[in-house]
Structure 1
Amino acid sequence: MRSLLKPALVFSLILGVCIFATAQVKLKKPDVIQKIDKTSLEVVIDEINKTDILYRKANDPKGPLYAMPKKEVRKIIWNNGDVEDITLAPVVSQQSVQPVLAKTEIAPASLLFWDKTGLFAGLRVGAGVGITATSNTTSLSSGSRFAYNVGATLGFRAKAIGVQVDALYTGASYTLRVPGTMQGVKSVNGQQNNLVIPVMATFYTKISKTRLGISAGGFASMQAGPGSTKITSSENKISNVKNCSTCTGEAIFGIVGGLSATVVERANHSIFIDARYYHSLGDNTGYKIAETGVKLNVGAIGAGVLFNLSR
């Protein structure tokens, strides 16, 4: 009886150990691999190296070894509950997107002065020569004398075409012939101030970075004040007398043309230089000293600035 009991005890002990070991294997929790694509895989991880995670299937812990690239894995949840981050998923925030979008946006091109449509105003000043219009009189000498003008501009532009009206205070001088009966007189020069109102249309074209314009129009001129006459004697003594006090208010008409170049052009202002020629339609056939004004043709080079008045 005792001989049978001993083998039975040994068999029971071995069986118990096997059952316990089997239970331990079944109760052991697997490791969990969470991938970047949000799928999970229950495994038994064997090794992690620089590039791969080596594992076996949870239902076959003694089976073949598999490899998964670390770049595909977001994190590992170990069987003891510890979490190890492998590859962090990129976080895209609104703040990180906005600067990139701002760099790719194309800003609208800023329109320059003559590309816009609307009103403009400005100032100009010029200097040149006044040429006596055909006189057919023995009183006036031909030739040219110094002239100047200064004033303001108001106009409208659309698609590189501008129409403007100027108000220019113009000063010009002229020379009178000295009659043989005037003994002791060396020369006689007249000075005349006019208010000139030109109305012009200008057509602009851009060549390289410079905008060029050609202008044409008409003008009306009215003597502003009586003017003066300077008499120089043989001894170089100078005397001035008023001239033509009744000439103020008499209108003179003519045509005007010129060329211009825009040297600085921005969105709201433009700086230009130009050359103009004012040609009187009448002549001085009926000129009388101290009784009528002198009709002059004026050539002048000027400069000015224009300002945008429209939004």
Structure 2
Amino acid sequence: MINLSFLIRQISLITLLTVGVSLEMIGGVIDLAFAAQLSASALIGIFLIAGGCPVWVGCIGILFFNFFLGFLKAVFLVKLRVPSIIFTLAMQVILSNFLLATVDYTGIVIPELRESYRGNIYIGMELAVTVLCVAGAFFFLEKTYYGKYCRMLGENLPLARESGVKCFGISVAVHLFASLFFSISAAFLMFRTGSSNSALGATYLYQILTAVFLGGVLPNTGKGRIFGMLSGALAVTLAVTFLTGSGYLYRFENILEGSIILVALALGVRKKNRESSP
């Protein structure tokens, strides 16, 4: 039987991560580091709280850490023109090994933090925060010039440069906004588990990429809509919940997600080729 509270929390988390990664991909970035970034930022928060800092200081630490990484992405990807797959893969390796060297798989646990975060009021709070964030993403993409130029960067960065678009500034804005989604997701995970370890965000890598591609957000197209992102997030949440509950089918989760990613990419490339052909 599906636990409704668990399902709502999974929908909130997967939606936030899907929208965050989608924003980056619409801007032309294939981010393979967000899962390790999730683990590392949650670790920052746990370190601060375990060291005696108030909870809000831990949350601020998570936010600033993600903002720093977001700014770093803009510098390397737009200023230095490093391919996004290479840079984010390198970042993923660095963060993952840093986590293993720091806390390994056991991590840091604060049981009191987890116990204080139980109850329906917190589930409702997560859902409300998710709705506000999604509304903000819609406004950002559809109602601001940042969204317009973000799509230009994703579709054709050299052309955007030639057109006089301030590509670095737009990229910084996009990555900082996406970092807000990653920060909230990391805080949610930190509160739910009362801990952080090197594998905290690892399970979300393929899940979120699957949700992004299912939602119609594809690399180098500059296209993507909030409704599609929500649809992809919901589909993946339901699939993961079912696979987890079935036990046996859970073994094939990554195979299924990888297959979906390949099919979605193939369909996206085919559609783009059709649109570009005379």
| TM-score, length of structure 2 as denominator length | 0.20
Larger proportion of strand: 1
Larger proportion of helix: 2
- Larger radius of gyration, structure 1 or 2? 1
